[in-house]
Structure 1
């Protein structure tokens, strides 16, 4: 449900730990990184820390900093972009250190740090130790070594992952837009700001557009994706215009002049959230209508008898997407049967699986403990 509030500000629930994402349009509005907008953002972070709150910054702008340092044309290839990120990252860190007047720590993450449990736990422990020492972690994707297939891809979604990783209770996404509008305000003069979103559903996603500026990777679409990830784990998410110092001042006092995406209650369990939002799928399993109902209505495990089609070359223990006969995605799960094995036994009764495979193969394709279903309300 989308809530339109008549007041100018929406009250924010008290919070103790926040992740603040700062977009490229704020870091480098005129080319090189500057304090044009970062000064007010830094004051928000400092004010939050003074009253005992903890803040993690997710900052874009490394490529812009590298380009400003070296001159020349914008990067056209991945090696060029990665080289500029390597040049610009220390300059970006130095700027944040000066602005925050506090110890800062560079934390560069890759997709694998979020997907693999041991690396996830190690990154979480590192962030916790930095915060315990009074340090402000400044996080970015490790663009110098990341490849397209294994990238988070944008810092909006990275910030949502970091919020989950750090156990934050607030995610603030700052850019040069005021929040989510019911239409594109650049082409629709009467577009209205949506002050509160209670749940990200198909209608909310339809409002999101593409990238808004030349220097930014993520547009409103990625901000809504990030909000969906964070709110599912019980994290309030705010999308706010970071060019407006007054809005940042109000946020420090618990008032939102932007869009507040409310945390879901109860939040999705950690393992279910990981399955839905952090794992790259290795294939797809299509089930019949009976199996789809059993999964949704009874919380059943998926059996081989309910599978009608298999796509992708997945192995045992890989995450796969599960869809109904119409192609609608039901959720994701960890399979206990490889794709080539499942293709042989799909539609078979449990008693026939062993005879077909020639060994004692599992009749359960995805156990319900390894299954995360998409909330049907999110696709209304």
Structure 2
């Protein structure tokens, strides 16, 4: 099957390729990937590499016998292994590479998000290969993206990529688990990601890896909604990258949406983590869906503990449907006292004129499919 053309791509390489035996990094499968990136550079195509493997690289420096590795040990492995991983990649290329480490906290803060975006674009403009990884040594649970499949999708949106290649040890998405059913058939193209597609996902058997097929589908959902074709391919097969260079799909293609979200809407939907909920009446829910800002009138309940500037979900109290997600200009504590009141009444009661909009319309993302 012929692939859609692309000019800028993100290539994600998982731990199953970097540390195939779970004991440390190996170049066994990396050379073919490096050759692919070099060939793309020679063709004038731009590539961003998202590479797992820092914790795997650190295992040769910090040994741990148990199958269950404590979080603190994983962080130490990631810290010591990050330089090894960069050295492992850099030796393949005769052009400069740049290390970019980030956490979810960097991505959900709009100013830092834009800063990272500008840095990555500048690196590409100067023909530098950005090598991105999550900053596992420092990230806390609430600041972690959690897996590099979803990180790769976020990076793909940051750089306005045309394609995302998720390279792992599997041939693509199958209609059944091929480890259990040998006659399972690979699905070459997925036009729309549905619950039925998610139901086909299995788990991961790699002790170092944090992702499985489900995280790859989640990543594809994020990327395709931004207009990015996403591929799951087998990085252990050298012919995979020859086929990609010849414009042929060797795995599963998740086709881009024809009406992609804007950068800000995508950031609101897929990057920001909701810290609470605002429950509204049906009339207010309908006005929000129609594109109106959310005001204090129509708010019937506040759930969760959130601060000004946090993301929250707006829920229709009549049917419990989540209708929108946005950046709140009030804390939950403030809203508890002023919910359901008109601005004039709030000013009279508290002696100040509050912000008219609880969530402005340009800070709202409608959740049509949830």
Same structural fold, with TM-score higher than 0.5 when normalized by the shorter chain? yes
Aligned to 1:186: 179
| Cα distance in 2 between the residues matched to 1:150 and 1:38 | 29
Aligned to 1:5: none
Q: Deviations over 1:214-262 (max 9, x none)?
A: 3311111111111111112211111111111112211122211211112
| Cα distance in 2 between the residues matched to 1:201 and 1:357 | 48
Aligned to 1:34: 26
Q: Does residue 1 of structure 2 align to residue 13 of structure 1?
A: no
Query: Conserved in 1, the CA contact under 8 Å of 2:343 and 2:354?
Result: no
Q: CA deviation at 1:291?
A: 2.6
Question: Which is worse superposed, 208-217 or 349-358?
Answer: 349-358
Q: CA deviation at 1:148?
A: 1.2
- Give the one of 273, 278, 283 matched to 1:285: 278
The structure-2 alpha-carbon separation of the partners of 1:351 and 1:108, relative to structure 1 and needing over 3 Å to count, comes to same
| Cα distance in 1 between the residues matched to 2:160 and 2:133 | 18
Aligned to 1:164: 157
| Aligned-partner SS, 1:243 | coil
RMSD: 2.1
Aligned to 1:6: none
- Give the one of 133, 139, 149 matched to 1:140: 133
Aligned to 2:315: 323
Q: CA deviation at 1:209?
A: 3.0
- Trace 1:72-221 onto structure 2 (pairs within 5 A): 72-73=64-65, 76-221=69-214
Give 5+ residue unaligned stretches, structure 2.
none
Q: Deviations over 1:267-312 (max 9, x none)?
A: 111111111111122211122333333333x222223333222112
Aligned to 1:47: 39
| Cα distance in 2 between the residues matched to 1:208 and 1:329 | 25
| Cα distance in 2 between the residues matched to 1:275 and 1:203 | 25
Aligned to 1:66: 58
| Aligned-partner SS, 1:68 | coil
| Aligned-partner SS, 2:59 | helix
| Cα distance in 2 between the residues matched to 1:327 and 1:178 | 40
Query: Conserved in 1, the CA contact under 8 Å of 2:313 and 2:322?
Result: yes
Q: CA deviation at 1:101?
A: 4.2
The structure-2 alpha-carbon separation of the partners of 1:351 and 1:332, relative to structure 1 and needing over 3 Å to count, comes to same
Q: CA deviation at 1:346?
A: 3.0
Query: Conserved in 2, the CA contact under 8 Å of 1:285 and 1:322?
Result: yes
Q: CA deviation at 1:141?
A: 0.8
The structure-2 alpha-carbon separation of the partners of 1:181 and 1:315, relative to structure 1 and needing over 3 Å to count, comes to same
| Cα distance in 2 between the residues matched to 1:208 and 1:347 | 44
| Cα distance in 1 between the residues matched to 2:128 and 2:44 | 13
Q: Does residue 228 of structure 2 align to residue 230 of structure 1?
A: no
Query: Conserved in 1, the CA contact under 8 Å of 2:288 and 2:324?
Result: no
The structure-2 alpha-carbon separation of the partners of 1:101 and 1:177, relative to structure 1 and needing over 3 Å to count, comes to same
| Cα distance in 2 between the residues matched to 1:303 and 1:119 | 28
- Give the one of 13, 38, 58 matched to 1:22: 13
The structure-2 alpha-carbon separation of the partners of 1:331 and 1:258, relative to structure 1 and needing over 3 Å to count, comes to farther
Query: Conserved in 2, the CA contact under 8 Å of 1:59 and 1:140?
Result: yes
| Cα distance in 1 between the residues matched to 2:368 and 2:189 | 20
| Aligned-partner SS, 1:127 | helix
Q: Deviations over 1:192-217 (max 9, x none)?
A: 32222223233322333332433311
Aligned to 2:256: 263
Q: CA deviation at 1:83?
A: 1.3
Q: CA deviation at 1:86?
A: 1.5
| Cα distance in 2 between the residues matched to 1:367 and 1:125 | 26
Give 5+ residue unaligned stretches, structure 1.
1-8
- Give the one of 331, 337, 355 matched to 1:338: 331
The structure-2 alpha-carbon separation of the partners of 1:12 and 1:212, relative to structure 1 and needing over 3 Å to count, comes to farther
Query: Conserved in 1, the CA contact under 8 Å of 2:55 and 2:208?
Result: no
